[in-house]
Amino acid sequence: MTEPQPPVARAVPVQRTFHGDTFVDDFEWLRDKDAPEVIAHLEAENAYTDALTGHLKPLADEIFGEIKAHTQETDLSVPVRMGDWWYYTRTVEGQQYAVHARLPFAEDGERPQLEPGVVPPGEQILMDGNRAAEGHDFFELSDLAVSPDGTRVAVGVDLTGDEINDLSVRDIATGDLLDDAVRGVGNGAVWSLDGRYVFYTRRDDAWRVNEVWRHELGTPQADDVLVLREDDELFSMGIDESRDQRWLLIFSGSSTTSEIHLLDLAEPTSDVQVVQPRVAGLDYSVEVDGDRILVVHNGSRPDFDLAVATIAAPSREHWEPLLTGGDGDRILGVDAFAGFSAVTMRHAGLRTVRILPKVSDGVYGEPVEVPVEPELHTLGVGANPEYDTDTVQLVLTSWLTPSTIYDYTPEGGDLLLLKQRVVPGYDPSRYVEERLWVAAADGVQVPVSLVRRQEVVADGSNPGLVYGYGSYEFPIDPYFSSGRLSLLDRGVVFAVAHVRGGGELGRRWYDDGKLLAKRNTFTDFVDVSRALIDTQWVAPDRLAAEGASAGGLLMGAVVNLAPELYAAVHAAVPFVDALTTILDPSLPLTVGEWEEWGNPLESPEVYAYMKSYTPYENIRAERYPAILATTSLHDPRVFFVEPAKWVQELRRTVTNGPDRPILLKTEMSAGHGGRSGRYDAWREQAFEDAFLLDRIGATDLI
């Protein structure tokens, strides 16, 4: 039988010359997704991938069945109170999307006790994602905002995956459509207090959110009023409302600098008020607390402090210190309530919460840390729409602890368990989670999370999967995944390399993995991979690696640096043509990315540095791992062309035989996060896991 042959894209040389360096790109023509030849090429790649992975279908089906079996498909969220209603979501077995609903607040004030699969009397539907998704290959709910009087809901939906949304307003009780005039907008929907207006955002041609608009219900979009425009291309905007629904918060920010405006929603046509005019390098966020604001800022410490000011005098000179973390403590954010505030922090590399009680009007007491187990946990503030409350909802998870929701009462320190996600067939005592430290080449200690079955020991024979990200100060915090159980139950040692460039160990950890220190991200990952083998947790020929988006860049870089370490790699929506993208300010988000990677247009040093690691331009004629690159046609963040070009260049350069294929799989109806329905997403995950498990010899349950 003839072996399937990989698609070969025709070479159309395009020269790129900067700072005396010329690079010839043969595959840039694949960028045009409207060209029939490009679509035909992607479809041919999908057919080739299907042909070479057909033998994986039984394994993928088995993993899909395991994910389903570990999921309570008909389920409910914990109801949360907002005004006169309890709001919640529910899922139904066989349905792809959640139903968003509410029940009236009972006179006894008790949280309703709901049963999965039972529709309670008096329920009102805000949004049924399954009905809204009918007839569409992709569906994502971007916004769900209830009017202050509780009678109407503004709903934003994305039906292509490009994160451009349409906004509509419905009467909740009747379901009647009241307004669908607002089209092609960004994320965010905030009501005025009188319910007459909805505020929303728009994107520019470079896909940057650069405008905030006010829409009057019942009028055409052409009559909408521009509230604020951001002209600096380094900055993107966003909107939110204060917990008491009194203030619209308008954020303008780059990766290093921010500026926030307030608008009184009781006077929706009034002018905006700046909190603190932007100062280069000053990054801050704001939480409204009655007539005051709480400000998390880096004006006095790189890892941020908490300050307080009044709305009447909000600027920096009026910020009074409220809380400073210890060495290495990173203050992430704050949620204000009538009697206390909850401060989210990163301590010893883990996310936790401290409570600041109000001992009198305008005066805070000493912070109290919320005590939780296990040691390797992630604790965050959950859904808390009410300002005047005695409790705060907290969400706890770990590598082995399913999402667990508590009500915490600051006065008394009581933790009331509301719900732990049910995981059928899961016994946490069969698994181990631990943290290791690996010395990088420059002596820096890199944290590594390790998860495995109890019976798996460091004997040099195990299959392993190492995951990483390491950009934008985004941390990979401990979190539970039902899908991960399918790996662990096949004896896989699962590791997360918390490499520099992420946010696990504070702002310095991030700074040491960006700009002209970016290579630390890649070498840290390689050092962790070698350590997993050297310490005999993973067999030398059974290590796989995985990363997505900027983590896909990480995958592309490490296979160039140390291809011999990995048997297989999954690079999801990978940013593998980084230099080409960052050189083109007309592409979505490029200008705003210069603070993360540097500006190679202006700086020969940045250009040379990026050229030294951008994966597409550094492929070597050596034996590489088997590689699966996955992407989406409508992804607006990392264009499909990047992995499409990368795969072509890999195939014509590396020395792989048929035992180590280079594959590309493109979802033709999806965005940056992949397919939108939960069953479709599970199918996608099952296929990707099957590819890796097959390559590292871990297809059977232990």
Q: Each residue of 37-65: pLDDT tens digit?
A: 999 999 999 999 999 999 999 999 999 99
Among the listed residues 142, 486, 529, 549, the single catalytic one is 549
Mean pLDDT of 202-212: 94
Give per-residue pLDDT as tens, 556-574. 999 999 999 999 999 999 9
Q: Which two tokens stand for residue 223?
A: 């009559």
Query: 348 versus 19: which is more confidently predicted?
Result: 19
Distance CA 275, CA 312 (A): 9
First to last CA, the chain: 34
Average pLDDT over residues 181-207: 96
Total count of residues recorded for the chain = 702
Distance CA 28, CA 617 (A): 13
pLDDT class of 390 with cuts at 50, 70, 90: very high
What domains are defined for the chain?
77-128 (no CATH), 136-282 (2.130.10.120), 431-695 (3.40.50.1820)
pLDDT value at residue 674: 67
**Given this model, what pLDDT does residue 162 score?**
87
Q: What is the pTM of this model?
A: 0.96
The CA angle 11-17-22, to the nearest 5 degrees, is 65
Compute the average pLDDT of residues 375-383: 95
pLDDT, position 614: 99
- pLDDT of 488 higher than 80: yes
What residues contact residue 188 under an 8 Å CB cut-off, 6+ apart?
A: 143, 199, 200, 201, 238, 239, 240
Spatial contact of 378 and 370, defined as CB atoms under 8 Å apart: no
- pLDDT band at 670, cuts 50/70/90? low
Gap between the Cα atoms of 676 and 680, Å rounded: 7
Burial status of residue 68 (CB atoms within 10 A of its CB: 0-12, 13-18, 19 or more): middle
672 a catalytic residue? yes
Tens digit of pLDDT for each residue in 83-95?
999 999 999 999 9
Confirm if 85 and 102 have CB atoms less than 8 A apart. Answer: yes
Per-residue pLDDT tens digits for 583-624: 999 888 899 999 999 999 999 999 999 999 999 999 999 999
- Name the catalytic one among 477, 635, 676, 689: 635
179, 527, 672, 676: the active-site residue: 672
> Please, which residues have CB within 8 angstroms of residue 313's CB and are 6 or more apart in sequence?
none
Per-residue confidence (pLDDT) for residue 362, from 0 to 100: 74
- The mean predicted confidence, pLDDT, of the chain is 96
